[in-house]
Structure 1
Amino acid sequence: MNARLGAIALRIAQAVPVLFGVVVISFLLTRALPGDPAAQFAGVMATPESIEQTRVKLGLDKSMPEQFATYVVQLAQGDLGQSVSTGRQVTEDLADRLPASLELTLTALLFSCAIAIPLGVLAATRPGSLIDQLCRLLVTAGVSLPTFFTGIVLIYVFYYLAGIAPSPLGRLDFAYLEPEHVTGFFLIDAAIAGDWETWFGALKQLVLPAVTLGLFTLAPIARMTRAAMLSALSADYIRTARAAGLGTTKVLYGYAFRNALLPVVTTLGMVFSFSLGANVLVEKVFAWPGIGSYAVEALVVSDYAAVQGFVLAMALLFVTLNLIIDLTYSVIDPRFGTAAK
C-alpha cells in the first residue's frame, strides 16, 4: 500500500511542471489572438475613452510579466478570472458546461466500447472472416467520416425523414424542465429525483450526438483491440495453455484478453481525452452546451480568461486520466510500478 501511495504521489509531483508549462503556453498563446477583448467587453457603441477604461479594469494595460504574475496569483486562489463573453466567472461557466461534455463523451465511449471491444476480439479470433472484414469497414468509416457529416446525416435520417428523433437543440426538449442540479449529469440527476419522464427525454436527446461521437471513437478502439488480441493469441503462453488442455473460453478471456487489455486501456484514455476536447463539432451540430462550444465562442471574441480556463481544465483532466490509467494498469498487471511490492 505504501509503495502504491508513493507511486501516486510521484506521478502527481511529475504533473506539476507539466501544468505550469500549460499555464505559461496558454497565457502566451491567448495574448497572440487577434482582436481586442477590451473593445469586445466595452460594447459596439463604446468610445475610445471607455475602451481604455475597460482595458485598465481588465488589467490589459500592464506589461506581460505583470499580467502573468496577476494571473498566477489568481490561479493560486482558485480564481480563473471573469469571462468577457458571458460576464460570469470562468469557474462557474466551466462548472455548468463540463458535465454536459462529460455526459456526452462518456456515453459515446460506452457505446463505442460495447461494439468495438467484442468486435475486435471476434475479428482477431476469426482473421479473414466476414466479421474481420466488417471490423475493418467500421474502422475505415469511423476514421474517414467527419463527425459533423455523420451528425448531419443522422439528423436528416432520424429527425427529418423518419421523425423518431427529437429536435437536435440541446440536452432537453423545451417540453421538459431541467432536473434539480446534483451532479450536472441530466440522466443521473433525473434518476435521483425519480423523474423518469425527464430521464427518458434526456436520453432521447443524448442518443444521436452520442452515436455520432461514438462512431468516431469506435475506430481506434476496435483497431487496437484486434491488433492486441492477435499479438496475444500468437504468444507462446497461449500455445502452452492450449497444449495443457485448457478450455477455449479460459484461454481467450482468462489469458489472451487480459494481456491485450493494457494497450486497449491506453487507447481508451487517449480517445477519451481527445474526444472531450475535440467534440466541439458534435456540440455545434446538436447545439450541445458543452465546454468545446464554450471554448470556440471564447476564441472568436478573444476572451482570454475563458480560453485559459478551458485549456487548464483540459490539462487537469488529462493528468487525472493518466493517473487513473496507471492505477488501472496495476490492477490488470501487478508487475507495474503502482502495485504493492
Structure 2
Amino acid sequence: MAKTSKGTIIAQRLLSSLPTVIGVVIVTFLLTRALPGDPAAFFAGPAATPEAIAEIRQTLGLDRSLPEQFFIYLGELARGDLGNSLTTGQTVVYDLTTRLPASLELTLAGLAFAIALALPLGILAALRAGSWIDHGVRILATAGVSLPTFFTGLFLLYVLYFRLGIAPPPTGRLDILYSAPNQVTGFYLIDSLLEGDLELFWASLTQLVLPAITLGLFALAPLARVTRAAMLGVLSSDFIRTARASGLPPLQVLFGYAFRNALLPVVTTFGVVFSFLLGANILVEKVFAWPGIGSYAVGAVVASDYAPVQGFVLAMALLYVVLNLLIDMLYVVIDPRAGVET
C-alpha cells in the first residue's frame, strides 16, 4: 500500500470537481434564459416603447443568439467578470464579495450552535439508548427538522422580540444606531474585535443570535441522529469491549476510541448540512432582513436579472467544491487510513 500525499489528494479532488463546475455553468446559463419575463421590458418600465425595449435588449446583448450569448459569457468568466447587476447597479463580483461574508457568518454561527447541541445530545442518546434522554433527543430532532425555518424565525421573533422584548428588532446585521466596522474579513464579530470595539461586537452578536438559532435548530436534527447512530455502532464493537475490559478510564474509551471512530459519518453529514444551510438561509435572511447573498439572489430572480443569478449559483458551486476538499482533508486527519491507496 502507498500513502497518497495531501497535494495529490487536493489535485485529484480539484480535477474531479471540474466537470461539476462546468455542468453548473451550462445549466445555470440555460435556466436563467428560461426564466419568465424579459429583463429589458422590466427595466424599461411599463410605459416604454418597443423601440426603447429593443435598445435595452441590444445593450444587454439579449438580441444575440443563445450560443453567442453563451460564448460571450464564457469569455467574461475567463476574465473573472461576472457581469453587472441591473438591480443594484454594481458589478456582481462586488455584490457577492460584500454580501457573501454576511451569509457565511450566519451559516457558520447556526452550524456552531447545532454542533454544540447535536454532538453531546447524540452521544448521550447513544449511551442511554431507549431511555427518556434518547426519546427526548428524537423529539427535539424531529421538531427541528419538521418546522420550516421561516416559521421558526417568525415564532422566535414573535415571542422574544414582540411579546417579551428581550431580543433586538430584525434590522439585519446591526441596529440602525450602529455603523458597520471597517471591513477586514467581512465578519462583523471578527472585524469589531479587530477594532477593539466591544460594544459593536455585542451589538453584532445580539443581532446574530436569533437567525443563528433558527438555522441551528434545523441543522440539529441530522447531526444528532447521525451522531447517535454512529456512536451506537461503535460502542457495540469488539475493540470498545476490549478497551473497557482492559480497565481504561471511561472518558478515554468514550472520546479517545468510540467518538473518534464515529467521527467520519458525522463529518460527512456536517459537510452536507453546511451546503444545505447555505441555500436554506435564504428564508432566514428574508425574515431577519439579513443582507446576504440569498436575499440578493431572490431579488435578482424576481427581476429576471441574469448576471446575479448566474454569479450566485457559480459561487455556491465553488463553495461546495472547496467544502468537499476540506472534508476530504479532514478525513485524513481523523483517520490516516483515508489517505492510503492500495
TM-score range, shorter chain: over 0.9
Which of these residues, 161, 174, 177, is aligned with residue 175 of structure 1?
Answer: 177
Deviations 1:19-77 (A, max 9, x none): 00100000001110000011123334422111111111111111111000000000000
Distance 1:45 1:331 in 2: 62
CA distance in 2, matches of 1:195, 1:182: 14
Normalising by structure 2, we get a TM-score of 0.97
Name stretches of at least 5 consecutive residues in structure 2 with no aligned partner.
none
Q: Choose which of 72, 75, 78 in structure 2 pairs with 1:76.
A: 78
Q: 2:216 matched to which residue of 1? A: 214
Structure-1 separation of matches of 2:45 and 2:242: 74
Structure-1 separation of matches of 2:64 and 2:204? 46
Which residue is equivalent to 1:286? 288
1:181-211: CA deviation from partner (whole Å, max 9, x where unpaired)? 1111111111101111111111111111111
Q: Is 1:165 aligned to residue 167 of structure 2?
A: yes
The aligned amino acid for 2:141 is V
* Partner in structure 1 of residue 29 of structure 2: 27
Distance 1:275 1:239 in 2: 38
1:2 Cα shift? 7.0
Output the amino acid matched with 2:331: Y
Query: What is the SS of the residue equivalent to 1:275?
Result: helix
Amino acid at match of 1:43: G
AA aligned to 1:104 is L
Alpha-carbon distance in 1 for matches of 2:228, 2:124: 8
Residue type of the alignment partner of 1:141: A
Q: Which residue of 2 aligns with 1:300?
A: 302
Shift of 1:245: 2.0
Alpha-carbon distance in 2 for matches of 1:43, 1:172: 34
Amino acid at match of 1:167: P
How far did residue 340 of structure 1 move? 9.9
Indicate if the aligned counterparts of 1:209 and 1:286 stay in contact, CA closer than 8 A: yes
Partner of 2:19: 17
1:144 pairs, out of 146, 156, 169, with: 146
Paired with 1:147 and 1:13, the residues of 2 have a C-alpha distance of: 35
TM, length-normalised to structure 1: 0.97
1:304-315 alignment runs, 5 A limit:
304-315=306-317
CA positional deviation for 1:86: 1.3
Matched residue type, 1:52: A
Equivalent pairs counted in the alignment come to 340
Instruction: Please give the residue correspondences for 1:5-154 in structure 2 after superposition, counting only pairs within 5 Å.
Output: 5-154=7-156
> Which residue in 1 is equivalent to 2:204?
202
- Among all aligned residue pairs of Structure 1 and Structure 2, give the percentage whose two residues are the same amino acid: 65
Q: Give, in angstroms, the shift of residue 300 of structure 1.
A: 0.7
Change (3 A) 1:11 1:197: same
The residue identity in structure 2 corresponding to 1:310 is F
Given the alignment, which residue of 236, 254, 262 partners 1:252?
254
> Take 1:196 and 1:4, find their aligned partners in 2: how far apart are those partners?
40
2:243 maps to amino acid: A
Amino acid at match of 1:196: L
Contact 1:148 1:285 in 2 (8 A): yes
In the alignment, the residues of structure 1 paired with residue 280 and residue 57 of structure 2 have an alpha-carbon distance, to the nearest angstrom, of 32
Correspondence 1:235 to 2:237? yes
In 2: Cα distance, 1:2 partner to 1:243 partner: 36
Task: For residues 82-128 of structure 1, give each alpha carbon's deviation from its aligned partner in whole angstroms, at most 9, with x where no partner exists.
Answer: 11211211111111110000000000111110011011001101111
**Distance of 1:76 and 1:46 partners within structure 2:** 35
Report runs of 4+ in structure 1 exceeding 6 Å deviation.
none
Q: In structure 1, how many angstroms separate the alpha carbons of the residues matched to 2:94 and 2:280?
A: 21
Deviation at 1:222, TM superposition (A): 0.4
Residue 242 of structure 1 deviates from its aligned partner by 1.6
- 1:237-293 Cα shifts (integer Å, max 9, x gaps): 111212222221111111110010000001011100110112111111101111111
Could you tell me how far apart the structure 1 residues matched to 2:8 and 2:22 are? 22
Residue 251 of structure 1 aligns with an amino acid whose one-letter code is V
User: Where in structure 1 are there 5+ consecutive unaligned residues?
Assistant: none
Instruction: Indicate conservation of the 8 Å contact 1:3/1:340, yes or no.
Output: no
